[in-house]
Amino acid sequence: MFSDPKHNPLGRFDGLGATYARHRPSYPAQAINWVVEKITDRARPVADIGAGTGILSRLLVERGLRVIGIEPNESMRDQAGFNDLIEYRSGQAEATHLESASVAAVVAAQTFHWCDAGPALQEFHRILIPNGWVTLMWNDADLGDPFSAGFWRILRQGTPEPEIVARPHHLAGEPLLVHPLFQQGEVRTTPNVQEMDEEGLLGRAFSASFAPKECGASQRFADQLRALCRQHERDGRVRLRYRTILYQARRSSQHS
């Protein structure tokens, strides 16, 4: 969706690794259940595409899976940390550098809107075992919640890239449902919430690659968020609400 070079999909997260690792929301247990239930071969690893700082990778490891995290941005990989069940490698959705039919599942959380959908899905088909599943996942804003709606309104008004904020990122998952290399496509949704204090709210906002970076605009942005926080906080805490949306489809036997 935003894979065009003008959006700098590979370089836009430079320097954001520490902020991203500390302030991004996690994913709810139900969403992880939906990923894990599709995995039939636990002897092979799962490929976490655009693994970032390893938020999803660690959740999968907690379920007893091995993970190869594919992440093009070095500052993100530096924040991810390694353990015996996770290996992070440089690569991207369109060119993972993994062997053919080598992974039990492919997951991509909060990242596929930066990918070139056609080549990426061909690559996922190549690296998946027969009948393996792809899951594309997003934490999408719950705009029915007044505080969450206010947060995203401030982001839309403050960003220098309004076209990125305006279009729901989860729509980038639609091609998976109709791609000839995949079948049994489905969409699932479950609620998610991120609770934080004022510092956490600012960190969450500035972890977005499209947040304002120019000094004056950045200060106005922060001031507006502080005012929103004071309006809605209870005991010093606020809650951003999301709908976690999953697009899932099974690899077909058709050749890419």
Report yes or no: 244 and 192 within 8 Å, Cβ to Cβ. Answer: yes
Say whether pLDDT at 72 is over 70: yes
pLDDT of 216-243, one tens digit each? 899 999 999 999 999 999 999 999 999 9
Q: Is residue 158 part of a domain?
A: no
Q: What is the three-class DSSP state of 227?
A: helix
Report yes or no: 89 and 110 within 8 Å, Cβ to Cβ. Answer: no
Q: Is residue 99 part of a domain?
A: yes
Q: Is residue 156 part of a domain?
A: no
User: Which residues span the domain enclosing 128?
Assistant: 5-140+168-191+241-251
Say whether pLDDT at 11 is over 80: no
Q: How many CB atoms lie within 10 A of CB 90?
A: 12
Dihedrals phi, psi of 64, to nearest 5 degrees: 85, 15
Average the pLDDT over each of 20-24, 30-34, 60-64 and give the range with the smallest value.
20-24
Say whether pLDDT at 250 is over 90: yes
Share of the chain above pLDDT 90, in %: 76
CATH code at position 61: 3.40.50.150
Strand boundaries in the chain, DSSP class E? 46-49, 67-70, 86-89, 103-109, 128-141, 182-196, 238-251
Calculate Rg over the CA atoms of the chain.
18
CA–CA separation, 138 and 171 (whole Å): 10
Q: Is residue 80 part of a domain?
A: yes
Average the pLDDT over each of 1-10, 115-124, 147-156, 166-175 and give the range with the smallest value.
1-10
Q: Is residue 208 part of a domain?
A: no
CA–CA separation, 107 and 32 (whole Å): 10
DSSP string, 112-174: GGGS-HHHHHHHHHHHEEEEEEEEEEEEEE-TTSHHHHHHHHHHHHH-S-HHHHHS-GGGGGH
The total of structural domains in the chain comes to 1
Q: Is residue 200 part of a domain?
A: no
What would the two tokens of residue 62 be?
A: 């907690």
Predicted local confidence at residue 163, as pLDDT: 84
pTM: predicted TM-score of the whole model, two decimal places: 0.94
CA–CA separation, 78 and 55 (whole Å): 13
Residue carrying structure tokens 């015996």: 84
pLDDT of 158-213, one tens digit each? 988 888 888 889 999 999 999 999 999 999 999 999 999 999 999 999 998 888 88
Dihedrals phi, psi of 53, to nearest 5 degrees: -95, 15
Q: What is the three-class DSSP state of 52?
A: coil
Predicted local confidence at residue 237, as pLDDT: 97
User: Which residues lie across from 92 on neighbouring strands?
Assistant: 95
pLDDT of 53-67, one tens digit each? 999 999 999 999 999
Q: Is residue 229 part of a domain?
A: no
Q: Is residue 216 part of a domain?
A: no
Mean pLDDT of the chain: 92
In what helix (H) or strand (E) does residue 74 lie, and over which residues does it extend? helix 74-80
Q: What is the three-class DSSP state of 193?
A: strand
